[in-house]
Structure 1
Amino acid sequence: MNPHLDKLQTYPFEKLRQLFAGVTPNAAYSPISLGMGEPKHPTPPFIQQALAENLAGLANYPTTLGTEALRGAIAGWLERRYGIPPLNPATQVLPVNGSREALFSLAQAVIDPAAKSIVVSPNPFYQIYEGAAYLAGAEPYFVNSDPARNFACDYDSVPASVWERVQLLYLCSPGNPAGAVLTLTDWENLFALSERHGFIIASDECYSEIYHGDEPPLGALQAAHILGLATVERPYARLVVFSSLSKRSNVPGMRSGFVAGDAEVLKKFLMYRTYHGSAMSLPVQAASIAAWNDETHVESNREQYRAKFAAVTPLIQQVLDVALPDAGFYLWADVSRTGLSDTEFARRLYAEYNVTVLPGSFLAREAHGVNPGQNRIRMALVAETGEGREAAQRIVQFCNTLTK
């Protein structure tokens, strides 16, 4: 067996299952889960129709590169969304079966396992980043998020000796779980580090279309364009971005996303994926084209999330330290004032009020003497507004019993 498998930690939701083992939730309450970030809004009918109308494509092997029409639709969306120069669909865009599998497999393609490499990751983080690093033969290095910096990571704190060994930097903007968005200054500093040390930046942007302010979140390709890195001899050098239709279009089961950016990196990644056997089926490609070409359903989706956050956040703020995030569909709340740890809070809330939340320590690792997820909980506001409000009211009741 691959010895690197022994380095993998239990996934957060399995940890949650173990935490709840032996607990019988209060039967007076119907179950409400805020634990998993799985979109619950209905899939738009026009996407379902596009999928159904192209089922004949199941009779054909799809190519790893995907159809020209799909790559063109993705490139067009990137141009419209971020105001960047048109990407070359043939060399700078690659369809993938959801951003998760591509974020993992990129590390397998770009890491030199003999180089004792480092993969830098935010902390808390999407656990795929850590597993990808280990199974590529590298070591993860975690940079803690800082509440005083709107949960941004302080990359200036990373020693030069670490940067010299870095081959891949994972970023998540808007972030999971805190929803923080990287600024143009953040990007400028990171691009400079990438230029100096030669590492690849993998920007995970799957939450980019769920935001709560007037301005959409800044994207990596957009930042590179503003900073003049899109028109140089090697456009978007060492930069690749990942996005997905799962959250944007409420099709998590369709497994459809893309990676875009540096043509040289994508050329090697395409070769890897050709052997990996990860081509997207033609019906899914057709449905994806329909989704990327429409913004009306995205705007409606965003408004539904805004309504939920407007209804739920003020209630939670009565009893926990929490603020409206820049973007994403999570609330990242500090439970310290309840006197309970994040795991105790989650277990008792489940037992007494049948509401599931995810302990923040499950989403992070102890690094530099601290687990930045400790004493926090992540709440995914993916259910409909009424259910979310009911969950918030139960949390308020629970916290009030603690103070009494």
Structure 2
Amino acid sequence: MNPLLDKLHSYPFEKLRLLFEQVTPNPQYKAISLGMGEPKHPTPAFIKQALIDNLDGLAVYPTTLGTPEMRAAIAGWLERRYDIPKLNPATQVLPVNGSREALFALAQAVIDKDANSLVISPNPFYQIYEGAAYLAGAEPYFVNSDPARNFGCDYDSIPEEVWKRVALLFVCSPGNPTGAVLSLTDWENLFALSERYGFIIASDECYSEIYFGDEPPLGAMEAAHKLGLTSIGEPYKRLVVFSSLSKRSNVPGLRSGFVAGDADVLKKFLLYRTYHGGAMSTSVQAASIAAWNDETHVEQNREMYCAKFNAITPLLQEVLDVELPDASFYLWADVTRTGLSDTEFAQRLYAEYNVTVLPGSYLAREAHGINPGANRIRMALVAETAEGLEAAQRIVKFCKSL
């Protein structure tokens, strides 16, 4: 067996299962889960219909590169959404079976396993970043999020001897679980570091369409364009961006996303994926094209999230230290004032009120002397508003009973 598999940590939901293993939840309450970030809003009917209308695609082998129509739809969406020059659909866009598998696969394609490389990850983080680093033969280097910096990472704190070993840097903006969005200054700093040390930036932007202010979150490509970096001979050099329809269009089971950016990186990544087996069914591509070409359902989806967060967040603020995030569908709450640790809070809430939340320490690693997820919980407000309000009311009761 591959010895690198022994470096992998249990997934957060496996840890949660073990935490709850000996607990019997209060039968007076119906189970409500805020633990998993799985969209629960209805899938738009027109996306379902586009899939049904193209089931003949199941009878053919798809190409790894995807159809020209699919790549054009993605390039068109990026141009409209971020007001950037249109990408070359033939060389700068690649459809993938959800951003999760592509984030993992990119590390395998770009890291030299014999180079003693490091992969920088935010902390807390999406656990795929860590696993991708280990199985590519690299080591993760965690940069803690700082509440005083709107949960941003202090990249200036990383010593030069670390930067010299970095092959890949994962960015998640809007962040999971914090909801933080990188600023233009943040991006300018990262682009300068990438230019100086030669590492690739992988920007995970799958929560980009769920936000609460008037301005949509800044994307990496948009930042590069605003900073004048797209006018040079090799636009988006060492930058690859990942996005997905799962959250934007409520189709997590469609497993449809894309990678876009540096044409040289994507050329090698396409070669890797040809062997890896990452081709997307043309039936799925047809449904995806319909989704990428429509914004009305995205606006309606965002309105539902805004109404939900605006109703639930003030309730929880009565008993927890929690703020409306920049974006994403998570609340990242500090439970310190309850006198319970994050794991104790989650276990007792489940036992007494049958509400599931995810302990923040399960989403982070101890780095530089602290676990930045400790004493926090992540709540995924993915269900309908009524269920979310019921969960919030139970949490308030629980906290007031302590």
Equivalence for 2:162: 162
Aligned to 1:365: 365
What corresponds to 1:97 in structure 2?
A: 97
Aligned partner of 1:288 in structure 2 is 288
Q: How large is the RMSD of aligned CA atoms in angstroms?
A: 0.3
- Cα distance, 1:231 vs. partner? 1.8
Query: In the alignment, what sits opposite 1:178?
Result: 178
What are the superposed Cα offsets for residues 163-221 of structure 1, whole Å, 9 maximum, x if unpaired?
A: 00000000000000010000000000000000000000000000000000000000000
Q: Secondary structure at the match of 2:367?
A: coil
CA distance in 2, matches of 1:382, 1:2: 37
Deviation at 1:256, TM superposition (A): 0.0
Q: Which residue of 2 aligns with 1:27?
A: 27
SS at match of 1:84: coil
Q: What is the CA deviation profile of residues 74-105 of structure 1, one whole-angstrom value per residue up to 9, with x for unaligned ones?
A: 00000000000000000000000000000000
The one-letter code of the counterpart of 2:98 is G
Q: Secondary structure at the match of 1:70?
A: helix
Report the TM-score, using the length of structure 1 for normalisation: 0.99
| Distance of 2:73 and 2:318 partners within structure 1 | 45
Structure 1 runs (4+) greater than 2 angstroms displaced: none
SS of the residue aligned with 2:26? coil
Q: Structure 2, unaligned stretches of length 5 or more?
A: none
Aligned partner of residue 365 in structure 2, secondary structure? coil
For 1:63, the equivalent position in structure 2 comes to: 63
Residue 42 of structure 1 is matched in structure 2 by 42
Residues 108-257 of structure 1 correspond to what in structure 2 (within 5 A)? 108-257=108-257
Residue 318 of structure 1 aligns with an amino acid whose one-letter code is: E
Distance 2:64 2:30 in 1: 45
Distance 1:9 1:59 in 2: 39
- Cα distance, 1:52 vs structure 2: 0.2
Taking the aligned partners of 1:266 and 1:278, their CA distance within structure 2 comes to 13
Match runs of 1:74-93 below 5 Å:
74-93=74-93
Find the residue that maps to 1:86 and give its secondary structure.
Answer: coil
CA distance in 1, matches of 2:134, 2:96: 22
Residue 301 of structure 2 is aligned to residue 309 of structure 1? no
Aligned residue for 1:212, secondary structure, equals: coil
- String of CA shifts for 1:140-167, please: whole Å, max 9, x gaps: 0000000000000000001100000000
User: Deviations along 1:351-384, whole A, 9 cap, x unmatched?
Assistant: 0000000000000000000000000000000010
TM-superposed deviation, 1:32: 0.3
Percent of counterpart pairs with the same letter? 82
Structure 2: how far apart are the matches of 1:77 and 1:92?
13
1:344 corresponds to 2:344: yes
Shift of 1:268: 0.2
Q: CA deviation at 1:344?
A: 0.1
Q: What is the Cα deviation at residue 229 of structure 1?
A: 1.0
Number of matched pairs: 402
Match of 1:399 in 2: 399
Q: Give the aligned partner of residue 376 of structure 1.
A: 376
C-alpha separation between the residues in 2 aligned to 1:278 and 1:132? 16
1:117-139 residue CA offsets vs partner (Å, 9 max, x unmatched): 00000000000000000000000
- Paired residue type of 2:388: G
Residues 30-50 of structure 1 show CA distances to partners (whole Å, capped at 9, x for unaligned) of 000000000000100000000
Residue of structure 2 equivalent to 1:261:
261
Amino acid at match of 1:388: G
Distance in 1 (alpha carbons) for counterparts of 2:326 and 2:190: 20
- 1:126 aligned counterpart, secondary structure: coil
- Residue type matched to 1:307 in 2? A
Indicate yes or no: 2:276 matched with 1:272: no
SS across alignment from 2:344: helix
Q: For the residues of structure 2 that align with 1:86 and 1:267, how far apart are their CA atoms?
A: 18
Give the secondary structure class of the aligned counterpart of 2:122: strand
- Secondary structure of 1:217 counterpart: coil
**Residue identity opposite 1:13 in structure 2:** F
Distance 1:158 1:19 in 2: 34
Secondary structure (helix, strand or coil) at the match of 1:324 reads: coil
TM-score by length of 2: 1.00
2:390 match: 390
Provide the rounded CA distance (Å) in 2 between the counterparts of 1:42 and 1:230: 38
Structure 1 SS opposite 2:304:
helix
Equivalent position amino acid for 1:295 in 2:
E
**CA–CA distance in structure 2, aligned partners of residues 148 and 81 of structure 1:** 30
Give the corresponding residue for 1:318: 318
Deviation of 1:230 (Å): 1.0
Alpha-carbon distance in structure 2 between the residues aligned to 1:159 and 1:329: 33
